[in-house]
Structure 1
Amino acid sequence: MTGTVLENLSGRKLAVLVSFFLICQIVCFLIGGIIAPKPSITDSVLATKCIDTSNHSEEWFYSRGPKPCRGIDLGNFMYEEQAFANQIVFVFQIPSPREKVLLDYSRWQQNLVGILHLDVLYHSQNEMAPRTVLTIDAKLGYQDKHDPPAKWTYYASSVERRNLDCTMEQKKELYPYSCSIIPLFELGSLHHDYYLLNIRLPVDKGRNANLGHVGDMWLFARNQTGGFTKVWLSLKCVFFPSIVGILVWFLRRISGLQRKPQVLETMLIIVALSLTLLNAPVELLTLFFDLPFMLLLTDIRQGIFYAALLSFWLVFSAEHLMVQEVQKKSLKDYWPYFSSVVVGCVSLFVFELCERGIQLKNPFYSIWVTDAGTKLAMALLVIGGLCGIGYLILLCYLI
């Protein structure tokens, strides 16, 4: 067949091109290892335990600001009365102060993930099962610097169920269980300065009846560091125009030929377009707008790029290594080869929509909580894994 544009390049030009890409890659590794800070940090916050005497769930409880709530100590107190247990509100204000300096979140920090850990104390008269279904009534609000100190704006709320696994090797009175952590929420955009989380553990015959004595509650708030985001987006802003320029140059070379683009050239264009989409610094928009779908959009862009790259290797292997077969004229002839890539990507895309798609409306949602959701998630992941295995087998056959 007639050589592609890259195949018609001289050895010297090709060596210069490959050397340039290697140097860029080395420079990026050095910037990431030497200049960029760690990608994420975790803020450990101990809950302030407050009493809601009026059982008014619409009221905001906060520990810092004018008229903070009245805190209590649950460490040595056994609240046996159900009515009193329903009045306890666990309060988290994030970010927490450091060295008596009040901090605030920056939009450069991009996202926020909240994970709970319960300090459950052992009581001989109230032993916990190894696995307990925990019901959490959570409400999240936010505040900006220009807002009044006592004004908190509603963001999201939900009543969620989580599995809590607790063990204890040596049972001693008032000793804490070793309990698993509980994923609570995920925000795809960190647009506001302060966040307030109110958590209740409602107790009745069907909810939290078998839960032990909760002495304390911790929130681990993990977010991307602003310094890492600045370095990351700076690299994107540098390489994005370069990739666009290379793509335009390649398209001009293709359009100047007296023939239609070959299959491999078409795949190179598709890979370049997907790489351009992936490297577009759209995250800069989060500095001006609240875009909670950014995590979902990033995963979709990565999925498009990997699908294009995997498809390219199939076409490359078939075009250059299977010399004994007749070369295919268009991408339509490769659809049987692309089936594993398409099915695998579609299954992972559906999984992404079921998880982060629903989190756009309810950041406390998790597909892994219910049995039906767990089975659906596992089925989608297994389909994706089987398609990956099928892709490797097909690629080895072509090679």
Structure 2
Amino acid sequence: MSGAIIENMSTKKLIFFGLFILSFQLLFVLLGAFIAPSPTAAVSYLATKCISRHGVAGSLLAPWGPGQCQQIRSFDQPVAKMLDANDIVFSVHIPVPGTEMSPWFQYMLLVLQVDVSFRVINQIAEGDVVLTVDAGLAYRDVLTSDWTTKFHSMEERPLRCAFALPKTYENEGRFYECDPVPLMELGSVAHKYYLLNLRLPANSTTNVGVGEIKDVLVVAIHQNGGFTKVWLSMKTLSAPGICGATLWYWHRIVLAARQPALLEQAILALGVSTVMLDLPAEWLSLVLERTWMLLFVDVQQGVFYGALFCFWIIFCGEHLMDGGRRNRLAAYWWQVGLVLFGSAVLLFFDLSERGTHLTNPFYSIWASDMGTMAATTFIVVAAISACLYFLSLCGTVICVFRNIGKKMQQLHAMPPARRQRYQGIIFRFKFLMLVTLACAALTIVFFILNQVSEGNLPCGHYTLKVHSAFLTGIFGMWNLYVFSIVFLYAPSHKKGSESAHSLNADVKN
């Protein structure tokens, strides 16, 4: 690999470049803090209790509007006493009257909050309780048109509730404290109106021991349209910059008229993966229904982080290997293998969950004991792979710094030309490590602020939106990090540039 630009860059130019990058980083943070709204919005809907005396599966009952269903307000009404549990449909119209859903919302998550009243003779059973839900989702784009059924599924969810008071007759009528129940994840909000129908069928084997359910609250979570506009604008503006920098980097390598070194190939892969990460494919979901968009975004992020981890281990290793072992991917087979194995495990887990959502958004891998065990296994295996990788990376970094420390003691005894070459290698490595640690530290700081701030912080006459600043800041930081790597470590065409092959061999010897 030819001498990098950073080796020939003056201190003044390097400081100017650093200030340039920091100014853009600050711009990304301020964009999320003061301009972008909060990333998500949550709207609660109290389900309407509709009467369906025939209990026909798949029939649609609307809580309001044309064809409004026959309703009851409470199960304590006299008419409710004559009904069976199978005659009740909990109906939710999304959104509320006078508003519309929008493709800018990107996705929609539905979570159930079940209100269960305590009764001595009808308590929630001890141990694992399963809530069976016959769920149906329909849509329409005109309020006066008929509903079109989109999905229908019979699902089971664990019901975990606790009663803080003594279970006596004096406390009858008080409510259990139940955990939220994830119901659905829809990867595209392509229609204006949605209708959710939930039946809780009851017989000798279904919904046994779930207690006396009084009400069902549905919480709909979606991305804010204003945040989507800011996010897509950032990706649309960042993608050409990273793409141009990557093409320019490859052009510099081609001009060298030689085979690219392994480290150069790793940097190129990092640049290409960042271009993929910045690809604003979400624009398609604004004009077409693309339920696979969440899965595609996960794959984008997985490819980027996989390339980033491989780059780190190769960069460190190339400063440690001797001339006989360096510049060969086989020398890093087990570290790169860990990254690929962990990525494959997480991809398989994602396909098991979000891949199934393409045909059934009500599916959850956590709904059954077997699914929970499989999902936990995937996560644990991926976590073990990540730990082994970082242990290996830390060990490599320690070895490189130890070698650098030894060579630093010998620099004064070396000829000026060789001393300058060593100083270039040492400076280049330490600079990258410093930038990498700064990125990791800022990620942690942003994450902590994101957790403790409850979303917003007062800032004079403005409100600083920490959640948005966290997301836009992290996105900008990693883009600027990759841009810096691609630019600073591109081959230099200045006269006198030396081959890093011989330099790294000297470091080892």
The aligned residue for residue 333 of structure 1 is: 331
Q: Select the residue among 140, 143, 153 that pairs with 1:143.
A: 140
With structure 2 as the length reference, what TM-score do the two structures score? 0.74
Q: Select the residue among 124, 131, 135 that pairs with 1:128.
A: 124
Structure of higher CA gyration radius: 2
Q: The residue matched to 1:141 in structure 2 has which SS? A: strand
Q: The residue matched to 2:174 in structure 1 has which SS? A: coil
1:289-368 alignment to 2 at 5 Å? 289-320=288-319, 322=320, 326-368=324-366
Q: Is the 8 A contact 1:47 1:91 kept in 2?
A: yes
The aligned residue for residue 398 of structure 1 is: 396
The aligned residue for residue 281 of structure 1 is: 280
Q: The residue matched to 2:122 in structure 1 has which SS? A: coil
The aligned residue for residue 58 of structure 2 is: 58
Q: Is the 8 A contact 2:58 2:136 kept in 1?
A: no
Q: Is the 8 A contact 2:140 2:191 kept in 1?
A: yes
The aligned residue for residue 259 of structure 1 is: 258
Question: 2 CA distance for matches of 1:111 and 1:188?
Answer: 5
Deviation at 1:281, TM superposition (A): 0.8
Q: The residue matched to 1:336 in structure 2 has which SS? A: helix
Q: The residue matched to 2:250 in structure 1 has which SS? A: helix
Deviation at 1:323, TM superposition (A): 5.6
Instruction: Find out whether 1:111 has 2:107 as its counterpart.
Output: yes
**Cα-to-partner distance string for 1:197-226 (whole Å, 9 max, x where unaligned):** 000000011101222111110000000000
Residue-pair matches, total: 392
Q: Is the 8 A contact 2:110 2:182 kept in 1?
A: yes
The aligned residue for residue 269 of structure 1 is: 268
Deviation at 1:252, TM superposition (A): 1.0
Question: 1 CA distance for matches of 2:300 and 2:154?
Answer: 32
Summarize the Cα distance change of 1:79–1:125 in structure 2 as closer, same or farther, 3 Å threshold.
farther
Q: Is the 8 A contact 2:134 2:155 kept in 1?
A: yes
Deviation at 1:79, TM superposition (A): 9.8
Identity %: 38
The aligned residue for residue 408 of structure 2 is: none
Q: Report 1 or 2 for greater relative contact order, CA contacts < 8 Å, sequence distance ≥ 6.
A: 2
Q: Is the 8 A contact 1:82 1:203 kept in 2?
A: no
**Cα-to-partner distance string for 1:345-368 (whole Å, 9 max, x where unaligned):** 111111101110111110000001
Deviation at 1:324, TM superposition (A): 5.6
Deviation at 1:238, TM superposition (A): 1.3
**Cα-to-partner distance string for 1:303-323 (whole Å, 9 max, x where unaligned):** 000000000000111112x16
Report the residue type matching 1:202 in the other structure: P
Question: 1 CA distance for matches of 2:42 and 2:36?
Answer: 17
Summarize the Cα distance change of 1:336–1:10 in structure 2 as closer, same or farther, 3 Å threshold.
farther
Q: The residue matched to 2:309 in structure 1 has which SS? A: helix
User: Which one is further off, 333-342 or 260-269?
Assistant: 333-342
Report the residue type matching 2:220 in the other structure: A
Larger helix fraction of residues? 2
Deviation at 1:107, TM superposition (A): 0.8
Question: 2 CA distance for matches of 1:106 and 1:168?
Answer: 40
- Provide structure 2 residue ranges, at least 5 long, that are not aligned to the other structure: 398-509
Question: 1 CA distance for matches of 2:303 and 2:155?
Answer: 33
The aligned residue for residue 377 of structure 1 is: 375
The aligned residue for residue 48 of structure 1 is: 48
Question: 2 CA distance for matches of 1:380 and 1:201?
Answer: 32
Question: 1 CA distance for matches of 2:280 and 2:272?
Answer: 14
Report the residue type matching 1:176 in the other structure: F
1:11-30 alignment to 2 at 5 Å? 11-30=11-30
Report the residue type matching 2:108 in the other structure: L
Deviation at 1:128, TM superposition (A): 1.1
**Cα-to-partner distance string for 1:81-127 (whole Å, 9 max, x where unaligned):** 89711010000001124xxxx11011111000000011111111111
Question: 1 CA distance for matches of 2:295 and 2:54?
Answer: 40
With structure 1 as the length reference, what TM-score do the two structures score? 0.93
Instruction: Find out whether 1:165 has 2:156 as its counterpart.
Output: no
Q: Is the 8 A contact 2:187 2:290 kept in 1?
A: yes
Report the residue type matching 2:91 in the other structure: V
Deviation at 1:44, TM superposition (A): 0.3
Q: Is the 8 A contact 2:131 2:207 kept in 1?
A: yes
Summarize the Cα distance change of 1:290–1:308 in structure 2 as closer, same or farther, 3 Å threshold.
same
Deviation at 1:258, TM superposition (A): 2.7
Question: 2 CA distance for matches of 1:398 and 1:183?
Answer: 43
Instruction: Find out whether 1:152 has 2:177 as its counterpart.
Output: no
The aligned residue for residue 180 of structure 1 is: 179
